[in-house]
Amino acid sequence: MVTGYTTAHSDRFVANLPWKETLSFGHRHGGNDDFVADYFASTLGDAFKPLGEVYQAYCEAMEEVSMAIMAVLGESLGLGSGYYRDFFADSCSIMRCNYYPPCPEPERTLGTGPHCDPSALTVLLQDGDVHGLQVLVGGAWRPVRPEPGAFVVNIGDTFMVRHCSFTYLLRYPGKLEVRKALTNGRYKSCLHRAVVRREQERRSLAFFLCPRDDRVVRPPACGERRLYPDFTWADFMRFTQRHYRADTRTLDAFAHWLSPPACSGAAPAASPPAATQAATV
């Protein structure tokens, strides 16, 4: 995971340069330590430890929120409410603070470029009433207006894989075409971006629920050709950090990169498929 301060991945873009600053850090699930608070103190100095404690508490609350959502998703998939609590029990999730300053030429920039979150789930707080988040629906960018006291919850690419696979096994064993249809179904990850404003600054807090680095994301054995090979979260992170996409095909590109041309378990390809620009975790 890449942590710390950045002027928002400006190297990833050739046009519409990103207009934001971010601070990212990890949060260890179920830890009895002060992982976040210690990170603030060790990287920014002891004076920042109290701020780190605030974020420590925020991350712990977000862990609970995301586990509650996962319990509902687990139930809806017939896996039971505890399934994902176990899967994510020893995870290290990522917390990101986004700051979008006012921009004199907003039409020439983007706060955050189009992307799907690679995480399993994202819980986003839009701070204040300045809207900027947009989601692609039916080929058009639609605003997701901030609601006081409400979070935006995004399905990430990693959950999409698990969802499709489990649903396939449980409901329609032996029917590959159904699994393909479900890839575009209820729990699909979504392409989103954030725009900036001429007069107003904007802030958002994103909590990315992620599996443990070496946790294998794997569908159950199903006897049909696999759409995605086994992979670890660390593999997927490495891929998304190097090859950014401004579309919904990150997983396909990743699967191809791992084992071209089908998911056969072969060694990763030397050159990835063409990728475009996007900001990811």
Ligand X SMILES: O=C(O)CCC(=O)C(=O)O
Q: Name which of Fe ion, ligand X, none residue 194 binds, using a CB cut-off of 5 to 8 Å depending on partner kind.
A: ligand X
| Catalytic-residue membership of 202 | yes
The answer for 122, left when phi > 0, alpha when psi is -120 to 50, beta otherwise, is beta
Longest CA–CA span in the chain (Å) reads 59
Integer Cα distance of 208 and 93 in angstroms: 6
Helices (H), 209-266: 233-242, 250-258
Residue 191 in the binding site for ligand X (CB under 6 A): no
- Which residues 192-211 are close enough to bind ligand X by CB under 6 A? 192, 194, 204, 206
Integer Cα distance of 175 and 198 in angstroms: 51
The region of 124-132, 160-168, 226-234, 239-247 touching ligand X under the rule CB under 6 A is 124-132
Q: Name which of Fe ion, ligand X, none residue 27 binds, using a CB cut-off of 5 to 8 Å depending on partner kind.
A: none
Query: Exposure pattern of 95-111 as b/e (b: 16+ CB <10 Å)?
Result: bbbbebeebeebeebbb
Residue 157 in the binding site for Fe ion (CB under 5 A): no
Q: Are 143 and 133 in contact (CB under 8 A)?
A: yes
Give whichever of 117 and 157 is closer to ligand X, judged by the CB atom: 117
Q: Which of 202, 212, 226, 245 is catalytic?
A: 202
Give whichever of 21 and 60 is closer to ligand X, judged by the CB atom: 21
Q: Name which of Fe ion, ligand X, none residue 255 binds, using a CB cut-off of 5 to 8 Å depending on partner kind.
A: none
In the complex, minimum distance from the CB of residue 128 to ligand X, in angstroms, rounded to a whole number: 11
User: Residue 171: helix, strand or coil by DSSP?
Assistant: helix
- Which residues 105-134 are close enough to bind Fe ion by CB under 5 A? 117
Kindly list the catalytic residues.
Answer: 202
Residues that bind Fe ion (CB under 5 A): 117
